[in-house]
Chain A
Amino acid sequence: MKKSELFFLLIFPFLFFIVSHLIPLFYGVALSFTDPKGNFVGLQNYYTAVNDHRFWGGIRFTFIYAFSTAALNLILGLLIGTFINQIRRGQGILKSVFLIPWAIPLTVWGLENRIIFSRDFGILNNVLIDTGITTTPLPWLGDPSLATISVIVSSVYRDMWFAALLFLVACQMIPQDFYDLAVIHGASALQTFRFITLPLLRRTIITVGTLLFIFAVQAFDIPYSLTYGGPAWATHTTAMYIFRRSLHYGDYEVGTALSSIWVLVIFGLVGTSFTFLGRKTMR
């Protein structure tokens, strides 16, 4: 085994990533200490960034969104996945159907959900009024708290099928003997789920939960296409806010300060959760 060749196979591909992404990332950090003319201004941009209440509002919304979507996707995915596992025939069809929402780009999903959530013409209000749940049409995208709910619902509605699919595949890896034994010992369906399925799915739950959370913290597409961060900045995720403040309004230097803070927040979070979950679980 030639050391130099292995080194080359490992490092050479990553050079492309380093040059195209990591070096720009550090260039961005350098930019965050300058003004638009390139003069060094110390921590001035960071001072502006920390005092930007919309940025903190964005972080707050991002975490509300990330925790609720990850939790709801896990719970609903687990329920649907284990339910489908009980069905003997037609699992193939269900698997294909569950892949369809996953195949639809998030942007398209958000854009089309605007039609469903429309206050005056949408089917959601139509169904809610016909079933008597509400009497007046609700402004799903026009009210700050309702829009928060709409963004979360829209996102979970798309991703829970994907979570269900992964849990279904994991369920099918559990040896049938375990369930046969449970039947012999007279376990109820609920007990079987609680004491066999759930503990054996622990690894999958941690993996899927982590992935969902990491993707959710980056959320950009659905809020952008569904609410465009509105109304009144209520559904701005951090990524969206940084994008708008820098690339949209041309405030690049403050934007790089915002994104440096954001990277530190994420790394703090990921670092803590790794120590919490233990390094081995992710391998």
Chain B
Amino acid sequence: MLRYLKFVGAIVLISLALFPLYWTFNYSVLPEKETVRYPPHYYPPIDVFTVVNYRIAFTQYPILRSLLNSIIIVALASVVTLFLSFLPAYVLAKHNFRLRDSVYYGIMALLAVPWVSYTIPLYRVANAVGLVDTHLLMIMLYGFSGIPLFTWIAIPFFRTLPDELIDTGRIYGLSEFGIIWRIAVPVLRNALVALFLLRFVWAYGDLLYSLIFTFDQAKMILPAILEFPGLFEMPYARMAVGGIVAIAPILVLVMVFQKYIISGLTQGLKISV
């Protein structure tokens, strides 16, 4: 009896968690006029099933370009973030110096600064130097904005690095940078993949910067799909297509590398008992 209840509970939870994704897919393959009916279609009936919304989205909106913009910008920016946060994380995890705790708390304070407070002056500066709506600006913004968070997240991974390895490196005459590059990076390869994925998912999902700083050439996918609902019309099917397109790359990434992501989250956020 108890086993049966647990099984039912698990099925209910799975259905609830998957429902919004299913519902989005359901609407994306319905003709627009079939989305404004009551009661709604619980599944797309065969006789009205259509992929015309996908064709409309890809031909009448520059959605493919936005998708590629997002992927390129976020991938390069994630590499930049990882490189720039690995160096300080190593120093903070493996070396003792007088101001270490102060630096650590300084980083935590930076994590609390509301992102919106950077945007107004950043916009003024970017506008003045003519960088608004460029890929370069977005790579820099997403590359540099993650430094405090990813330094903080990377510290526990560096703590797992055996001191003996570092000492061996010193005996062989490696510089501190050499120790990071030749020893820490290969040993912490899995952590590196995990942190890259976390940075990718979070930057890809950010709306604030992408909405403010991109509108045409470098337009990213989230501001692009937000343009589907108009002021006076609610094209549900097209909105659903936008959602599916924006979710697709990230979903593939997360499903393929889920082990890395779970371990990255657990260790990086210091989940322990």
Contact = CB atoms under 8 A, between A and B. Distances in A.
A239 B116 contact: yes
- By size class, the interface of chain B is 35 or more
A29 to B, nearest CB: 9
Given A114-B229, A174-B273, A247-B120, A266 B112 contact: yes
Interface string B70-109: 0000000000000111011011100101000001010011
Interface string B96-132: 0100000101001111111111111111110000000
A151 B121 CA distance: 29
Given A99-B261, A267-B112, A170 B229 contact: no
Contact of B116 (A84, A111, A262): A262
A174 B272 CA distance: 9
Interface in A187-240: 200-201, 203-204, 207-208, 211, 214, 217-218, 220-221, 224-225, 238-239
Contact of A86 (B6, B20, B27, B83): B6
Nearest to A29: B121
A24 B125 contact: yes
B265 A1 contact: no
Judged by DSSP, the binding face of A is helix
Contact of A13 (B24, B36, B84, B254): B84
B89 to A, nearest CB: 9
Interface string A3-36: 1011001101110110011101101100100000
A141 B271 CA distance: 36
Interface in B243-261: 243, 246-247, 250-251, 253-255, 258, 261
Contacts of A107: 205, 207, 222, 225-226, 246
Contacts of B125: 24, 27
Contact of A103 (B115, B148, B180, B201): B201
A122 interface: yes
A52 interface: no
Contacts of B119: 243, 247
B144 A111 contact: no
Interface in A57-107: 80, 83-84, 86-87, 90, 93-107
A24 B121 contact: yes
B165 interface: no
Interface string A106-130: 1111011111101011110010001
B165 to A, nearest CB: 15
A185 interface: no
B224 to A, nearest CB: 10
B130 to A, nearest CB: 16
B204 interface: yes
Contacts of A217: 114
A101 B206 CA distance: 15
A80 B122 CA distance: 41
Given A21-B118, A105-B247, A260-B117, A111 B226 contact: yes
Interface in B30-50: 35-40, 42
A169 interface: yes
Contacts of B97: 3, 6
Contacts of B250: 103-105
The CB with the most chain B CB atoms within 10 A, among A21, A174, A256, is that of: A21
Interface of A: 1-3, 5-6, 9-10, 12-14, 16-17, 20-22, 24-25, 27-28, 31, 80, 83-84, 86-87, 90, 93-109, 111-116, 118, 120-123, 126, 130, 157-158, 161, 165-166, 169-170, 173-174, 200-201, 203-204, 207-208, 211, 214, 217-218, 220-221, 224-225, 238-239, 242-243, 246-247, 252, 255-256, 259-260, 262-263, 266-267, 270, 279, 282
10 contacts: A6-B95, A13-B83, A13-B147, A16-B84, A25-B121, A28-B117, A115-B236, A238-B114, A243-B119, A263-B117
